[in-house]
């Protein structure tokens, strides 16, 4: 990193101390960026220790980034915060490169439901980034990118307390994808007095000024919803690694099949209806629970899910059941690829809590015909009342001895309140799901790694710490399962069934 770039990063570090007036600018920027499906998440490209983007497409993205830098960067382009400093072309190109790359990976997840990045997704990411930057101040764009970089650095130091300088520069604890710039960033952080280095022990520590700046950045990310978006990306990333989520749920909830059948029985769906199933997974509700039979060959049943691997299972089952009236469509609840007033009913089992609920409910209301119904069964907050559960998940339930929001699942009033603007609830029923905690790896991978119900606690952990937390919880679960008899490792988990009629 050259002198100008080091001074620029140093200047960004000083924002948290002297630049509070920029808060609204960055909050608005982040909100607009997320609305346009532009993503700054370099870690998203780093899958299983290597770049998820093929080498030839990485070269294409480098060319795109250089072109953007050529278009938007000017020699007299300066940033004025605590002082006035030139912004180098290399730093601008880096911001564009990482944005196009992570947006391409995100789009591959969202649009294709796969981990592999295609040339088409790179082109779409290029267009989205170009359109977004044309609507904003490029200097704010670069600054916000740098805030995400600095957050990862300082967050790791706050979490670990201190770090060997060599470990910091190597980035394997917090930024293995960003090792090229870490040495210069450490130099800049020391110069800005955000961190200090104990030369005798070769340890890097966060200073009070660094903590103040970190909390400032956290405020921007929290107020803008950037943290929430980050958590959803983590969940989406993990979700697309799973081939059969239904099998995991059967191990956790042995009565899940009966509950799915209850959902179908209480749905009010009649033969010949046009029905949309959201979050179909591998088709457990579609086929094993008999939804396809309820709709019948004179009707239309469309099964959707964000994961193409799971939809492949639905297609196989459709062939084995010879259910030609079942359509399989890739999609997510927040953005349904159907015209308005298409369906008589929309139904889903344990899907609504995994969505942006307000957006999903609006979109479902759009595709329902007048008087159409939404049927959902979803879990509620973990009861967290059994001794084994509190012992097992103590690292997530408490931080520094202070109780945290235990999970991101809805409460009893969450879904009814969110439905109120668009629906009239005609059937609301509480029920208990018998949850078995006898398989530690399945429990942890499902709740923490895949559906990320402990979103608030996991979102603020450094990159390596998130992985370590999963392994720690699996080990704790194994100890708990040895300590408690199997019959006591059962918790009655509250759920909620709702049937509502759309208001048109």
The pLDDT-based confidence of 25 (bands split at 50, 70, 90) is confident
Strand partners, 425: 500
| Residues found in the chain | 504
> What is the dihedral sign for C-alpha 285, 286, 289, 291?
positive
The pLDDT-based confidence of 46 (bands split at 50, 70, 90) is confident
**Among 168, 195, 191, 164, CA closest to 179:** 168
Residue 493 Ramachandran class (φ > 0 left, ψ -120 to 50 alpha, else beta): beta
Choose the most confident range, by mean pLDDT, from 237-246, 318-327, 388-397, 454-463.
318-327
Q: What is the pLDDT of residues 49-63, one digit of tens each?
A: 677 899 999 999 999
The pLDDT-based confidence of 343 (bands split at 50, 70, 90) is very high
Strand order in the sheet with 163-164: 163-164, 203-206, 195-198
Q: From CA 81, how far away is CA 239, in angstroms rounded?
A: 41
The pLDDT-based confidence of 65 (bands split at 50, 70, 90) is very high
Across the range 172-180, mean pLDDT stands at: 86
Give the pLDDT of residue 76: 74
Q: What is the pLDDT of residues 255-266, one digit of tens each?
A: 999 999 999 999
Across the range 261-282, mean pLDDT stands at: 95
4 within 8 A of 92, measured Cβ to Cβ? no
Q: Which residues contact 65 (CB under 8 A, 6 or more apart)?
A: 93, 94, 96, 97, 100
Q: How far is CA 57 from CA 61, 109, 119, 229, 391, in A?
A: 6, 17, 7, 25, 47
Q: In this model, does residue 403 exceed pLDDT 80?
A: no
For 380, list phi and psi in degrees, rounded to 5: -110, -175
Give the pLDDT of residue 82: 39
Give the pLDDT of residue 188: 79
For 228, list phi and psi in degrees, rounded to 5: -60, -45
Give the pLDDT of residue 315: 95
Chain mean pLDDT for the chain: 87
Q: How far is CA 135 from CA 67, 140, 337, in A?
A: 17, 11, 27
- What does the buried/exposed string (b/e) look like for 407-432 if buried means 16 or more CB atoms within 10 Å of the residue's CB? bbbbeeebbbebbeebbeeeeeeeee
Q: From CA 247, how far away is CA 354, in angstroms rounded?
A: 18
Give the pLDDT of residue 4: 53
Q: In this model, does residue 269 exceed pLDDT 70?
A: yes
Q: What is the pLDDT of residues 485-501, one digit of tens each?
A: 999 999 999 999 999 99
Angle (CA) 311-312-314 rounded to 5° is 60
The pLDDT-based confidence of 207 (bands split at 50, 70, 90) is very high
> What is the dihedral sign for C-alpha 231, 179, 90, 53?
negative
Give the pLDDT of residue 400: 41
Give the pLDDT of residue 119: 92
Give the pLDDT of residue 217: 87
Give the pLDDT of residue 83: 41
Q: What domains are there in the chain, each with its CATH number?
A: 3-239 (no CATH), 245-502 (3.40.50.150)
Higher pLDDT, 14 or 290: 290
Give 323's DSSP letter. -
Q: What is the pLDDT of residues 4-21, one digit of tens each?
A: 555 555 555 555 444 444
Give the pLDDT of residue 193: 82
What are the tokens at 400? 């520094």
Rounded to two decimals, what is the model's pTM? 0.81
**Among 462, 469, 463, CA closest to 445:** 469
Give the pLDDT of residue 111: 65
Tokens 């939809």 belong to which residue?
A: 311
Choose the most confident range, by mean pLDDT, from 216-225, 306-315, 355-364.
355-364
Give the pLDDT of residue 85: 53
What are the tokens at 172? 């394997």
Q: In this model, does residue 22 exceed pLDDT 80?
A: no
């Amino acid at each position: 990193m050259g002198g100008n770039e080091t001074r620029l990063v140093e200047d960004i570090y000083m924002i948290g101390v002297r630049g509070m007036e920029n808060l609204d600018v960055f909050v608005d920027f982040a909100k607009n960026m997320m609305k346009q499906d532009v993503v700054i998440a370099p870690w998203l490209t780093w899958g299983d220790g290597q770049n998820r983007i093929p080498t030839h497409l990485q070269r294409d993205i480098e060319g795109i980034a250089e072109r953007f830098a050529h278009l938007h960067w000017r020699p007299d382009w300066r940033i004025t915060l605590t002082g006035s400093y030139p912004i180098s072309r290399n730093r601008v190109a880096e911001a564009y490169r990482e944005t196009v790359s992570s947006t391409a990976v995100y789009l591959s997840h969202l649009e294709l439901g796969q981990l592999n990045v295609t040339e088409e997704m790179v082109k779409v990411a290029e267009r989205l980034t170009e359109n977004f930057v044309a609507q904003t101040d490029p200097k704010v764009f670069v600054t916000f990118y740098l805030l995400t970089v600095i957050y990862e650095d300082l967050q790791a130091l706050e979490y670990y307390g201190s770090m060997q300088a060599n470990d910091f520069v190597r980035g394997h604890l917090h930024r293995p994808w960003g090792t090229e710039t870490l040495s210069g960033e450490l130099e800049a952080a020391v110069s800005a007095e955000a961190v200090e280095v104990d030369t005798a022990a070769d340890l890097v520590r966060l200073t009070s000024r660094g903590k103040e700046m970190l909390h400032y950045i956290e405020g921007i990310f929290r107020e803008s919803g950037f943290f929430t978006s980050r958590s959803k990306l983590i969940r989406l990333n993990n979700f697309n690694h799973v081939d059969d989520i239904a099998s995991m749920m059967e191990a956790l909830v042995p009565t899940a099949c009966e509950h799915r059948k209850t959902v179908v029985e209480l749905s009010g769906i009649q033969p010949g209806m046009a029905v949309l199933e959201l979050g179909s997974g591998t088709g457990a509700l579609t086929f094993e629970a008999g939804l396809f039979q309820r709709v019948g060959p004179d009707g239309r049943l469309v099964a959707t899910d964000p994961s193409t691997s799971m939809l492949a299972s639905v297609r196989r089952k459709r062939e084995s059941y010879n259910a030609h009236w079942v359509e399989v469509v890739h999609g997510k609840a927040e953005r349904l690829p159907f015209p308005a007033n298409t369906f008589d009913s929309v139904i889903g089992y344990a899907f609504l809590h995994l969505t942006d609920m307000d957006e999903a409910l609006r979109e479902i209301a759009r595709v329902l015909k007048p008087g159409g119904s939404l049927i959902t069964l979803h879990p509620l907050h973990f009861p967290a009342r059994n001794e084994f559960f509190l012992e097992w998940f103590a690292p997530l339930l408490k931080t520094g001895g202070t109780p945290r929001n235990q999970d991101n699942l809805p409460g009893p009033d969450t879904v009814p309140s969110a439905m109120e603007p668009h629906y009239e609830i005609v059937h609301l029923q509480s029920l208990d799901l018998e949850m078995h905690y006898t398989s530690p790896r399945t429990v942890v991978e499902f709740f923490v790694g895949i559906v990320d119900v402990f979103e608030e606690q996991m979102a603020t952990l450094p990159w390596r710490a998130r992985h370590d937390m999963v392994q720690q919880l699996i080990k704790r679960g194994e100890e708990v399962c040895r300590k408690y008899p199997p019959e006591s490792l059962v918790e009655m988990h509250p759920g909620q069934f709702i049937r509502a009629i759309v208001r048109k």
